[in-house]
Amino acid sequence: GDSVTQMEGPVTLSEEAFLTINCTYTATGYPSLFWYVQYPGEGLQLLLKATKADDKGSNKGFEATYRKETTSFHLEKGSVQVSDSAVYFCAPGTSYGKLTFGQGTILTVHP
């Protein structure tokens, strides 16, 4: 079945530091790839997506590139803010929209 391996957390950074959260996946067919973010006490929100190989998804300064050859979709941000503190989930989506989530990576950003 589908599976996702995410970088172990928690990740603790200082404000303005560079962020990378690694994600590799296995999925049947040709998935779309998503990063979701969960702020404390809230549901999951779509952060960015990429629907085909070599596509780059971006939003709010975050980026991730769909690497089909390495089955990876690593999340990056050049300069994190305290408000980016949250849990980040990588998820391939297959036909009919089912998402398989990684275990989530907790990010804490200190001033």
Partner 1 sequence: DSGVTQTPKHLITATGQRVTLRCSPRSGDLSVYWYQQSLDQGLQFLIQYYNGEERAKGNILERFSAQQFPDLHSELNLSSLELGDSALYFCASSVGSGGRPTEAFFGQGTRLTVV
Contacts with partner 1, residue ranges (CB under 8 A): 31-32, 34, 36, 42-46, 49, 51, 89, 93-104
Which residues have C-beta within 8 Å of that of residue 98, sequence separation ≥ 6? none
Residue closer to partner 1 (CB basis): 46 or 82 = 46
Residue closer to partner 1 (CB basis): 31 or 109 = 31
**How far is 83 from 77, CA to CA, in rounded Å?**
13
In this structure, which amino acid lies at residue 74? Answer: H
Copy the structure tokens of residue 78: 């050049």
As measured in angstroms, the least distance from the Cβ of 42 to partner 1 is 7
**How far is 100 from 98, CA to CA, in rounded Å?**
7
As measured in angstroms, the least distance from the Cβ of 86 to partner 1 is 14
Residue closer to partner 1 (CB basis): 52 or 110 = 52
